[in-house]
A and B are shown apart, each in its own frame.
Chain A
């Protein structure tokens, strides 16, 4: 076959819009072009939106790379990162880079983004003044934060507030100077703006509202701001975030038609028929852009034209805004307020909870929404706006949200995913519809959020819609989840459940047996399946299986938690949270003797010794053992803590001996290996001071006995427990809890916490086996105690005696 000669495509700008266009193009016409990309920044293409999260310390720079250098290689794209294009010659059809490199093109794509708007203020060129646009800016800000300096941010819009919050998170004192009297006045109405200001003030930001900056003070470096009304704001770091301006320099010099931005038609073509442009640098029908959603549409249209389809037309989609400050929920779209009599406003206000919602209606249709404090229904409102749906019928209810407005709601996040229209937009950042997600799931057989992310980009940018994507995934895969459950890892297509079943059915007793019998692709497995198999074998054959240390994550291998600097933390068990002066003295002595840098009370009612060097561990443990202290398994997928309250021993409301019962539970369960960590708590009355309702297993004492609750989690995804049973005696508590523990050990997938397990199998199924079936319960409890007979050996004491000595000293020293 004779392939057409490839044309040359040169892309200027290695940012979000440019590279998205290339991705779209590769998807529809992979062989049409030889592609060369120039980027002014020395990085591969990254998710600029997430710079706010990098600044706030929630993500690392590595986490926000969209396409790594390998991706460019794999797609045969020549990347010149760190080499900006300095000139375009539209007649010769070449570009010239700063390095002197000249590259010819048949088609050129300008995606140069925008530049931060810098006001003409005296002192703006002083060191210490930065913008917030790229990785280099973030690095400069972080350096200032590390140096313990003070910051002032000019601009109380989206970008300015995210910058201010990030710096605050890094420990800097931060002030914000804003020209208007309301924050984010273009996205929020006055009321929501004030709520936002109040919340941010409580979080430690200082605001100078109505503040017009007159100059940056200082001679050598920035020393602060002087405002027009005479106020002065001292600072070592000045962040300017007052807006952006399309970066049109190249286009202008090349003689293209340029207004505010590079003028493009509906096909994203500039005034030169060989040159296209996308992103924040363009102007389309008089409009310029500052959010990514429209850029994705532009990328699609430009790619279609480059691939030879001249029919694609760009239309600016409706836009919505969210603020990415963890814990502060803001949503807005469309009109912020009624503009004339024909507009109606519906307002909901709960000042105690800090919730505010406003909907703007016109002619029975929703045309605007502003939400503060509770934004769960933002996507729904946005959808109603985009569809121009007739909402007259639910007008009276809709402010309370979708769940209330129509009772059919099922999915998470207030979304009824079943009833959602196919073209309903799920991911605002990447413009992905429900239909596209469903199609990808069914056609490609996707089974996890990560896969959906990789294939559709839904929830791959800001991540706000992940719960909706998850709900769609659950809805589509529904009944068949079990049959199609993803393989454990790259070594096998069998699911966790299938492997567990085969281990028992085929009597497989070593990891090598399992891998051979079940056709593993790699003889020694990988870092994902080995810890799982090791656990499954321990659980199935407690008396026979020999634990494989090399298949354990470091923490479980050396029985201490590795810290970021390679040192370890040591947490001795403190049964039920009760200690003695002698134990405390022993801990204090150890801390002194080994010069342990940090001693901290943990969230689990015990004491953590942090910063112990690996080679010190056995000696530290030896001293702790001498005082009767044993491992607290703070590092283990196993029983962690049993928190208790003082209960009837001391408390005037206590109904039972919650402390004593907690200790009994901990004595029964310590040392066990489990699919994920397990935490318990026992409270002496329903006031629940030990927080039993967010534990894997919780006990709440009442006059008549004990309520046993299971499947709670206070971690990443907050979940309250489900009620399992009320029993009358301590002995029953021990039996029921032991039985639940064993069924969880035998059924849950490795790294599945009790909360998601209970959610998956349902509390009714657990009740059937633990509450309704007395014989089954007793048997499960007995199996648990049997396995405990092999598990309850203090791992520290074993290592003090010399077990695994090779872990704790160097093989040799070479000087």
Chain B
């Protein structure tokens, strides 16, 4: 069953940056845009599995660090001419706290 799980504060993520979350389904990258919007994607590039959390974020896209595919943060879709999609995770921001819609489970927070 899915549940909204608090995974940290907005301020834990640098602007135009990302942090990762370990989940039973795999690593999730949580991105923060310049205007403090938050997006989350499974952390595997549709091309060859590159860690999207390590890419450069601008606007609402991230450029994969391995071969520079551009991935839309909201949909997880690669931008033309590349094709492919990374699974997005729904996210919500309340009072500076980030919540992700994830499989319910035990949560271990780090500093």
Q: Mark B74-111, 1 if CB is under 8 A from A, else 0.
A: 00000011110000000000000000101101111111
Question: Could you list 25 examples of A-B contacts with CB < 8 Å?
Answer: A527-B55, A527-B68, A550-B14, A550-B17, A550-B56, A554-B54, A554-B55, A557-B54, A562-B66, A809-B111, A810-B20, A810-B27, A811-B13, A811-B30, A811-B110, A812-B8, A812-B110, A813-B108, A813-B109, A814-B7, A814-B22, A814-B102, A814-B108, A815-B23, A815-B24
- Any chain A CB within 8 A of the CB of B16? yes
Residues of B24-80 contacting chain A, CB below 8 A: 24, 27, 30, 34, 47-51, 54-59, 63, 65-66, 68, 70, 80
Tell me if A530 and B110 are in contact (CB < 8 A). Answer: no
What number of A residues sit within 8 Å (CB to CB) of B?
33
Tell me if B14 and A813 are in contact (CB < 8 A). Answer: no
A69 contacts across to B, CB distance below 8 A = 83
* A553 to B59 Cα, complex, angstroms: 16
Tell me if A70 and B54 are in contact (CB < 8 A). Answer: no
Tell me if A814 and B65 are in contact (CB < 8 A). Answer: no
B105 contacts across to A, CB distance below 8 A = 814-815
Tell me if A811 and B108 are in contact (CB < 8 A). Answer: no
Q: A813-B108, A814-B105 are in contact. Are A526 and B82 (CB under 8 A)?
A: no
Closest chain A CB from B8 CB (angstroms): 5
Q: A813-B107, A814-B102, A815-B105 are in contact. Are A562 and B56 (CB under 8 A)?
A: no
Q: A68-B81, A550-B17, A553-B65 are in contact. Are A812 and B109 (CB under 8 A)?
A: yes
- Any chain B CB within 8 A of the CB of A65? yes
The interface of chain B, by Cβ under 8 A from chain A, is 5, 7-8, 12-17, 19-24, 27, 30, 34, 47-51, 54-59, 63, 65-66, 68, 70, 80-83, 100, 102-103, 105-111
Tell me if B50 and A566 are in contact (CB < 8 A). Answer: yes
* A68 to B27 Cα, complex, angstroms: 30
Tell me if A566 and B51 are in contact (CB < 8 A). Answer: yes
Q: A65-B81, A524-B34, A527-B58 are in contact. Are A814 and B23 (CB under 8 A)?
A: yes
Closest chain B CB from A675 CB (angstroms): 18
Q: A566-B51, A810-B22 are in contact. Are A524 and B106 (CB under 8 A)?
A: no
Checking A68, A526, A552 against B83 with a beta-carbon cut-off of 8 angstroms, the contacting residue is: A68
The interface of chain A, by Cβ under 8 A from chain B, is 62, 65, 68-71, 522-527, 530-531, 549-554, 557-558, 562, 564, 566, 806, 809-815
Closest chain A CB from B18 CB (angstroms): 9
Q: A524-B58, A527-B58 are in contact. Are A810 and B21 (CB under 8 A)?
A: yes
B14 contacts across to A, CB distance below 8 A = 549-550, 806
A814 contacts across to B, CB distance below 8 A = 5, 7, 21-24, 100, 102-103, 105-108
Across the interface, name the chain A residue whose C-beta is closest to B6: A812
A810 contacts across to B, CB distance below 8 A = 19-22, 27, 110
Tell me if A809 and B56 are in contact (CB < 8 A). Answer: no
B54 contacts across to A, CB distance below 8 A = 554, 557-558, 562, 566
| 19 other A-B residue contacts (CB within 8 Å) besides A68-B83, A554-B54 | A65-B81, A522-B58, A523-B34, A526-B58, A526-B59, A527-B58, A530-B56, A550-B14, A550-B15, A551-B16, A553-B56, A562-B51, A564-B48, A566-B49, A806-B14, A809-B111, A813-B108, A814-B22, A814-B23
Closest chain A CB from B53 CB (angstroms): 9
Tell me if B59 and A812 are in contact (CB < 8 A). Answer: no
* A70 to B79 Cα, complex, angstroms: 10
Tell me if A813 and B22 are in contact (CB < 8 A). Answer: yes
A531 contacts across to B, CB distance below 8 A = 56
Tell me if B65 and A811 are in contact (CB < 8 A). Answer: no
